[in-house]
Amino acid sequence: MRVFVVYWHPEPQSFNAAMFRTICQTFSDAGHDVKMSDLQDMQFDPVYSRRSFRAVRAPDYFKPQLEEQYAAVTNGFSEDVESEIAKLEWCDLMIWQFPLWWFGLPATLKGWVDRVMVMGRTYGGGRYYHSGVFRGKRALLSLTTGSAEDAYRRGGFNGEIAGILRPIQRGILQFVGFDVLAPQVVYAPARMSIGERQKHLAAFSHRLGTIGDESAIEVGSY
């Protein structure tokens, strides 16, 4: 299996970093091919601008989707964007590892989506959802939260985690064709003991070892 791991956290000693290393090590030890994008280490620029393109369709007015479509047919994406698109096209399974910030993706990871999920290569021309470019590939969100699990239940302080993740799972991953697996959520690791964190890492590694047998979840179309 070809596994692509996209990771962001500002602290290399964080629990997110430990989860990222667990993902890479588990799949590597099992003989799978692994590619990774450590966005912090790469100093990936999340700001969308003309620097995403080597070719220019309309120099006097910047319409991103128009430039994306033009770059898709002229091989005109910048080196950093093209490299990330190639990893998307290569993988069988994509995993995002990140801390949930403000009910969504951290800015750098969201900026990665903005720059890399480009029209003409990852969607467009009738290629959406079940007809998406990446149909047959699978995706998994692996994340941590600041609040405890009971805050993310129906009627809880923050509401159901499924509702919070829907814009990502449905609006990004399913939109471009990925089958979405059940998210791996570790609630409030900052409040855990070292032993509790190690148990979570071991359980995650065990899950990853059998993830080829998992089926996609129903995120919902409404």
Nearest Cα to Cα of residue 16 among 210, 186, 175, 217: 186
User: Does residue 222 lie within any of the structural domains?
Assistant: no
Give the domain CATH number at 169: 3.40.50.360
The residue ranges of the chain whose pLDDT is under 70 are 220-222
- Residue 72 belongs to some domain of the structure: no
Question: Which whole-number Å values give the CA distances from 164 to 93, 95, 99, 118, 157, in the listed order?
Answer: 22, 18, 13, 24, 12
Answer whether residue 62 is part of any domain: no
The structure's pTM equals 0.95
Specify if 112 maps to a domain: yes
Query: Whole domain around residue 123: which residue ranges?
Result: 2-45+78-213
pLDDT of residue 23: 98
pLDDT for res 220: 64
Burial of 129 (0-12, 13-18, 19+ CB in 10 A): middle
H or E element in which residue 195 lies = helix 194-209
Phi, then psi, of 162 in degrees rounded to 5: -60, -40
Question: Is residue 67 in a domain?
Answer: no
Share of the chain above pLDDT 90, in %: 92
One-letter identity of residue 96? W
127 in any annotated domain: yes
Q: Is residue 52 part of a domain?
A: no
CA atoms of 176 and 2, how far apart (whole Å): 18
- Are the CB atoms for 37 and 84 separated by under 8 Å? yes
Distances (CA, A) of 75 to 64, 123, 126: 16, 16, 21
Please, is 171 exposed, middle or buried when counting C-beta atoms within 10 Å of its C-beta (0-12, 13-18, 19+)? exposed
User: Does some domain include residue 166?
Assistant: yes
pLDDT tens digits, one per residue of 97-156: 999 999 999 999 999 999 999 999 999 999 999 999 999 999 999 999 998 888 999 988
Counted domains in the chain: 1
Of 206, 195, 214, the C-alpha closest to 23 is 206
Two structure tokens written together for 102 = 């403000």
